[in-house]
């Protein structure tokens, strides 16, 4: 009797399955695509769910190792979680893509700048920040983070201003601060004098300046020290304007860079600002730098 009951049950089950195959379609659910995982990861990132974002980006990379935006997401999500070493690895993976994926490379450099600032690696932070800005400029735009429009070139300038001040590059720190706040320094607090002066170049040999920062040619020494800002530089031959890349604040030496320099001895017209009390100015610059919000 027991065997008979088992047989009846088996027949009922088989019959039920057969009935399903006739009356209903079988739907196969496809796994999430790489793009959907990356999109979900960035959605998690923008809502502060960084651990979940990491899982989404990791899954996307495991499915497609050439999904570069997922590496970008991993770097930024890990950075937000304080996992700096791992984030650096993902950002560095993107750096060679500068020519083919410039936006991702710029994002990677921006992330590195923020991490290195946090780790007090000032030189690396400055270099990374400048590279993020340079890549954007090379592509005809100002830097804006691909997935968060609130992270912009201004944040990079703040990082650079802080780190440059930390290593004593006060002139360049001032330049970065001015990119964020063109009204700095307020004359009512730190009186400064603006001078338009025609000076001859330092000839015989043009003194070259080079360091990890940049390179350039020394064109003149101003008559006063304590230079805080170079407003414009041109030459008396009417050549194109020059880019001032460095100036010694206390000494007044000014370096420029240009594709073609005029003949030796050509007078230059320089407009610059200087302060009488350089120490007081540095205190104000420090306060300004610290007041700027960074990433």
pLDDT tens column, 45-72:
999 999 999 999 999 999 999 999 999 9
- Indicate the pTM of the whole model: 0.79
Same domain, 96 and 218: no
Same domain, 141 and 206: no
Q: How many domains does the structure of the chain reveal?
A: 2
What does the pLDDT read at residue 251? 56
Tell me, yes or no, whether 109 lies in a domain.
yes
Tell me, yes or no, whether 68 lies in a domain.
yes
Same domain, 143 and 229: no
The model's confidence at residue 19, banded by pLDDT at 50, 70 and 90, is: very low
Same domain, 47 and 148: yes
Same domain, 251 and 130: no
What does the pLDDT read at residue 113? 98
Which position has the higher pLDDT, 216 or 244?
244
CATH number at residue 127: 1.25.40.10
Same domain, 207 and 126: no
3-state secondary structure the chain: CHHHHHHHHHHHHHHHHHHHHHHCCCCCCCCCCHHHHHHHHHHHHHCCCHHHHHHHHHHHHHHCCCCHHHHHHHHHHHHHCCCHHHHHHHHHHHHHHCCCCHHHHHHHHHHHHHHHHHCCCHHHHHHHHHHHHHHHHHCCCCCECCCCCCCEHHHHHHHHHHHHHHCCCHHHHHHHHHHHCCCCCCCCCCCEEEEEEEECCCCCCCCEEECCCCEEEEEEECCCCCEEEEEEEEECCCCCCCEEEEECCCCCEEEEECCCCCCCCCCEEEEEEEECCHHHHHHHHHHHHHHCCCC
Same domain, 101 and 237: no
The model's confidence at residue 221, banded by pLDDT at 50, 70 and 90, is: low
Tell me, yes or no, whether 167 lies in a domain.
yes
Residue at a domain's end among 149, 180, 211: 180
Question: What is the domain range of residue 101?
Answer: 34-180
What does the pLDDT read at residue 24? 57
Residue at a domain's end among 180, 203, 223: 180
Same domain, 43 and 145: yes
Same domain, 53 and 163: yes
Tell me, yes or no, whether 139 lies in a domain.
yes
Residue at a domain's end among 180, 205, 232: 180
Q: Give tens-digit pLDDT for 124-171.
A: 999 999 999 999 999 999 999 999 999 999 999 999 999 999 998 888
């Amino acid at each position: 009797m027991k065997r008979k009951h088992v047989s009846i049950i088996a027949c009922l089950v088989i019959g039920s399955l057969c009935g399903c195959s006739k009356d209903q379609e079988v739907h196969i659910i496809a796994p999430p695509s790489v793009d959907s995982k990356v999109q979900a990861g960035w959605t998690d990132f923008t809502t502060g769910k960084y651990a979940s974002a990491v899982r989404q980006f990791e899954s996307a990379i495991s499915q497609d190792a050439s999904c570069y935006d997922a590496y970008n997401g991993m770097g930024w999500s890990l950075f937000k979680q304080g996992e700096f070493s791992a984030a650096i690895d993902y950002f560095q993976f993107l750096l060679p893509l500068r020519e083919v994926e410039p936006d991702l490379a710029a994002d990677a450099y921006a992330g590195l700048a923020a991490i290195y600032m946090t780790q007090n690696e000032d030189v690396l932070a400055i270099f990374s920040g400048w590279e993020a800005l340079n890549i954007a400029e090379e592509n005809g735009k100002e830097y804006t983070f691909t997935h968060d429009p609130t992270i912009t070139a201004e944040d990079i300038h703040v990082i650079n201003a802080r780190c440059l001040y930390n290593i004593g590059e006060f002139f360049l720190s001032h330049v970065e601060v001015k990119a964020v706040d063109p009204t700095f320094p307020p004359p009512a607090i730190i009186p400064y004098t603006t001078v338009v002066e025609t000076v001859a170049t330092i000839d015989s040999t043009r003194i070259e300046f080079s360091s990890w920062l940049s390179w350039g040619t020394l064109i003149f020494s101003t008559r006063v020290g304590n230079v805080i800002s170079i407003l414009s530089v041109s030459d008396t031959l009417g050549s194109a304007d020059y880019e001032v890349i460095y100036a010694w604040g206390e000494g007044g030496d000014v370096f420029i860079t240009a594709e073609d320099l005029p003949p030796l001895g050509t007078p230059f017209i320089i407009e610059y600002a200087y302060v009488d009390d350089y120490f007081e100015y540095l205190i104000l610059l420090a306060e300004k730098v610290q007041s700027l919000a960074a990433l």
